[in-house]
Amino acid sequence: MSARILSGNAIRDEIYAELGAEIAALRAAGIRPGLAAVLVGDNPASKIYVKNKIVASEKLGLASLQFTPLATVTTGELLSVVEDLNRREDVDGILVQLPLPAQVDAKKILEAVDPSKDVDGFHPVNVGRLVAGRPNFVACTPAGVMEILRRSEIGIEGANAVVLGRSDIVGKPMAILLMHANATVTVCHSKTRNLPDVVRRADIVVAAMGRAAMVTPEFIEPGATVIDVGINRITDASAAERIFANFPERLADFRAKGTALVGDVHPDVVHVAGALTPVPGGVGPLTIAMLMSNTVRAAARRRDTRVPAAAAQRP
């Protein structure tokens, strides 16, 4: 048995094709959605993430702006940047790339973003609307997971779902979205007792703990759908040999490069699960796709008197 691989790249391309039509309609009405990215300091991973978001914006024909305050920026200085973006008419979406430096009050910064431009879905207003079942903008990674499940025709209603992780960015909104889709949801975390036994009861597993290859085959009921949100870079040879013991090509690639990306799900799970997202190429592309979708919706809603119906009604 080998799991069906749920390609995030393929689903992203479907969404981009749909967005392309909506963006063209907006452009015909004189509207060019604009996304502003705020990248503080020189964190290499953050720079890659923001670059990928800007590239996607430009590929789709969205206007993109990037602001790069120094790593020494204060909370007050960064608040001024956000407040300026809130006022700009050419900016429909604002993303503040996390993590922020230790001296910056990240919650204060995220709460300063205009909720109508909060395309990351982190503002308390948007979180509250999600909890109330009246979502405006939903955090991009959980929203992307829902797109994978729906477009792959994975049954959610009535399913037992386990979410591994309780972060504000992924775990909590993921659990709420699954509940709204009528799954029975269990949220697990570092204090959960008998973790493999709890996870093994699930029809759908969403792994978002940030621990490389933590979810081994013993966690998974045969035939379950496994969504791997984790992205972990490993450089330790002994870890690579253990994780890729049954995947000689991936081990050879690690030895050639000295590094590899792995998810929170052990590669051996492919022989137990019924469906599985890969890392890379699974959830990651959908996170960016949903950011693009949120930006298009933000542009439509901010100009709702002259917006095409298709863009205004996108869920």
Domain boundaries, the chain: 27-116, 140-285
User: Which of 92, 97, 203, 264 is labelled catalytic?
Assistant: 97
Res. 63: pLDDT tops 60? yes
Separation in Å, CA 68 to CA 47, 72, 82, 106, 180: 10, 11, 12, 16, 37
DSSP assignment of the chain equals --PEE--HHHHHHHHHHHHHHHHHHHHHTT---EEEEE--TT-HHHHHHHHHHHHHHHHHT-EEEEE---TT--HHHHHHHHHHHHH-TT--EEEEPSPPPTTS-HHHHHHHS-GGG-TT--SHHHHHHHHTT--SS--HHHHHHHHHHHHTT---TT-EEEEE---TTTHHHHHHHHHHTT-EEEEE-TT-TTHHHHHTT-SEEEE-S--TT-B-GGGS-TT-EEEE---EEE--HHHHHHHTTT-HHHHHHHHHHS-EEE-SB-GGGGGT-SEE--SSSSHHHHHHHHHHHHHHHHHHHHTTTS--HHHHT--
Active site residue 257: no
Q: Which fold has domain 140-285?
A: Rossmann fold (3.40.50)
Which pLDDT score, from 0 to 100, does residue 312 have? 40
Which pLDDT score, from 0 to 100, does residue 315 have? 42
Active site residue 191: no
Instruction: Dig out the tokens for 55 from the structure.
Output: 């590239």
What average pLDDT score do residues 63-75 get? 96
Which pLDDT score, from 0 to 100, does residue 309 have? 42
**pLDDT tens digits for range 39-58:** 999 888 899 999 999 999 99
User: Which of 92, 117, 118, 120 is labelled catalytic?
Assistant: 120
User: What is the pLDDT of the chain when averaged over all its residues?
Assistant: 94
Please tell me if the domain spanning 27-116 has the same topology as the one spanning 140-285.
yes
Q: Which residues, other chains included, contact 252 with Cβ-Cβ below 8 Å and sequence gap of 6+?
A: none
What average pLDDT score do residues 113-128 get? 97
Query: What span, in angstroms and rounded, lies between the C-alpha atoms of 262 and 278?
Result: 9
User: Which class is domain 27-116?
Assistant: alpha beta
Query: What span, in angstroms and rounded, lies between the C-alpha atoms of 99 and 22?
Result: 32
**pLDDT tens digits for range 181-200:** 999 999 999 999 999 999 99
Q: Quick one: CA dihedral 250, 256, 259, 261, positive or negative?
A: negative
**pLDDT tens digits for range 134-164:** 999 999 999 999 999 999 999 999 999 999 9
Active site residue 97: yes
